[in-house]
Structure 1
Amino acid sequence: MNTEIAPSSNENQFQGITLLAQKRLLFKEISGLKFSEISDVTYDLNEKKLYLLSDEGILFVFEATFSDRIETFNAVRGMRLAKKEGKKFKKWRHDSEGLALDNKGHLYVSFEGRAKVGKFNQKGEMVKKYTLPKKLRDPKNYRSRNKSLEALTWHPRYGLLTAAEWPLKNKQKKDQTVYALNGKEWQFKAEAEQRSAVVAMEVMDDGNLLVMERSYSGLLNPFVITLKKVYLNKCKNKMCKSELLIKMNSHQGWSIDNFEGLAKVGKHRYVMVSDDNGNFFQQTLLIYFEVTH
């Protein structure tokens, strides 16, 4: 079902992006699993498969093709993430938030709660658990158990990169950090809005990062989704240059929802997806757009 999030339906070019297609996803169940609470998304360009991850530990697979619009979008299957040999995750350990795919088609998932990153096969079974940098292993280092490894992406040079929703306790509140699993770090300034949190990131064509931040601080305040470019090769004392691409503000006519997922689907082209929080009044939106500078 088509939708419209922009302030004006007569425009599709806003700051640094062009909106190409906007859909509301109305699936109730896929393979008998409830389709809701989508926390991240990734795309296999070779197989033309779009993977959507629920924060309830469920992975949904779609056949999807993209041109100047979304050409095809068909549900294939849903599966519960599991430990080796299909053993179930305990309920409080399946808070899956970040999703990534490498150039060999391997899937990776990051989790909140007790922070971890795992490698998964096409059956949704975890085949490897990674050792995190020491500062990311201790739950006490995070500002809360629900503010840990929210974002995940795979970089062809640095491997898996992750970020906590909010900076760790020993960091300034606006000094966000991207972590490689080998311990390398990059910092950038979070947006000025209250409680602006990193919810997703994706590697761009030039090797820099497209980062999504979300600011929600109460029903009466603006709800703001920001897309920015973080330059991994333009850093001074680990603090990297960032460039604002777009700021979508609910008080400025944007009909946005709780966007949490981001995936590259073609050259300069991406999709972002929202989490309906299992709430009747919220929606799962899929927005297809192009970064234009």
Structure 2
Amino acid sequence: MSGTGRPPLKPGRGLLPALAALCLLGTGHAGAQPVIEYLGTHVWREADEDFGGFSGLEISGDGTGFWALSDRGTLRWGSIHRDRQGRIAELTTAGHARLQDSDGRPLKPGYLGDAEGLAIDAQGRIFVSFEGLDRIARYDDPDGPAVPIPRAEWFRKLRRNFGLEALAVTETGNLLTMPEFWPDDPRGTPVWRFREGEWSTAFHIPRDEIWAPVGADIGPDGRLYILERHFRGLRGFQSRVRRYEFGEDHIGPPQTLIETSLLQFDNLEGIAVWQDGQGIRITMISDDNFLFLQRTELVEYRIRD
């Protein structure tokens, strides 16, 4: 189904209290270290059978609109209602759509419909990265057919269920994506760039044997923010957010902003970075895997540089 009232796009481009959050500050940036403030967690519930499994997130520039991507191949959008302190009070869905293939056929959950990464450019075009059949597609309308993005040769080497979970788009419209798992390159995890119709390896980020990139966004400060996950089986999930200054052909060292403890939050997979007038706002969403033991959470932090 589809609906109206899509949120405005970006302009131009827990369980523990705040003091319990582990905010490890990295190196590589001169001057004062940023202050990290945990703002709150909102549990989102809706009754329809397609609700859940959220792996991608975009937030409008003023923090009042959202787009949420499910790994069962659906996209929903709507409004975020906030209290006087700017914390999420409620989400209202205005519409949702089942993504289609390039022939206009609805994608079924599974191999073809495992949607993971979400990015929206300044023109309002929607980009989605998929696992299963690892690929990226563009949607000029969420109710319309996919416009395929040419596949890079590296996509064929991705391991099953360890593919393109993280996707971001730069101010100039270049796509950036990276594999969740890529063990064979001593330089680290490659960040692949799609620019002017061609793929290239833009740069590499340090690879950590326990942390896997599952979400990415370009912040209003022009930096690349990457959400990483550490799955500990029955002990739960840990999440980490690091950011990077980058240019056309280089990237700086990582700066760790957030590192959560086990069971502090659910399975955070999507990240959106925006500006709230008091600093950089980081909003993350969890994938509940459609399991009753898990839940859909939106977790927010503020970064004051």
SS in 2 for 1:290: strand
SS in 2 for 1:219: helix
* Offset, 1:188: 1.3
* Offset, 1:216: 1.1
1:139-154 mapped onto 2 (5 Å cutoff) = 141-142=157-158, 144-154=159-169
For 2:139 and 2:165, locate their aligned partners in 1 and report how far apart those are by CA, in whole Å: 17
Query: Does the C-alpha gap of structure 1 residues 9 and 185 become closer, same or farther in structure 2, counting only changes over 3 Å?
Result: closer
Equivalent in 146, 170, 177 of residue 155 of structure 1:
170
Show the counterpart of 1:228.
242
* Offset, 1:13: 9.2
SS in 2 for 1:232: coil
* Count of residue correspondences: 272
The one-letter amino acid of 1:226's match is R
1:92-241 mapped onto 2 (5 Å cutoff) = 92-136=111-155, 138=156, 141-142=157-158, 144-157=159-172, 159-167=174-182, 169-172=183-186, 175-182=188-195, 183-191=200-208, 194-220=209-235, 223-233=237-247, 240-241=252-253
Q: Is the 8 A contact 1:202 1:264 kept in 2?
A: yes
Q: Is the 8 A contact 1:13 1:19 kept in 2?
A: no
Alignment gaps of 5+ in structure 2: 1-13, 25-34
The one-letter amino acid of 1:62's match is G
Cα deviation code 1:97-155 (max 9, x no counterpart): 0001111111110001111111113333334111133222x1xx12x221111111111
SS in 1 for 2:215: strand
The one-letter amino acid of 2:15's match is I
What RMSD over aligned residues (CA atoms) do the two structures have, in Å?
2.7
| TM-score (norm: length of structure 2) | 0.80
> Quick check: which one's strand share is greater?
1
For 1:190 and 1:170, locate their aligned partners in 2 and report how far apart those are by CA, in whole Å: 11
* Offset, 1:48: 4.5
- Is the deviation greater in 81-90 or in 127-136? 81-90
Cα deviation code 1:190-236 (max 9, x no counterpart): 34xx531100011022211111110114325x73211111221498x
Show the counterpart of 1:40.
56
Query: Does the C-alpha gap of structure 1 residues 185 and 286 become closer, same or farther in structure 2, counting only changes over 3 Å?
Result: same
The one-letter amino acid of 2:282's match is Y
Equivalent in 65, 81, 97 of residue 49 of structure 1:
65
Query: Does the C-alpha gap of structure 1 residues 260 and 47 become closer, same or farther in structure 2, counting only changes over 3 Å?
Result: closer
- Is the deviation greater in 120-129 or in 64-73? 64-73
| TM-score (norm: length of structure 1) | 0.83
Q: Is the 8 A contact 1:187 1:240 kept in 2?
A: no
* Offset, 1:46: 7.3
The one-letter amino acid of 1:166's match is F
SS in 1 for 2:77: strand
For 2:46 and 2:290, locate their aligned partners in 1 and report how far apart those are by CA, in whole Å: 13
For 1:87 and 1:46, locate their aligned partners in 2 and report how far apart those are by CA, in whole Å: 34
Alignment gaps of 5+ in structure 1: none
Show the counterpart of 2:287.
275
For 2:287 and 2:69, locate their aligned partners in 1 and report how far apart those are by CA, in whole Å: 10
For 2:304 and 2:96, locate their aligned partners in 1 and report how far apart those are by CA, in whole Å: 34
SS in 1 for 2:154: helix
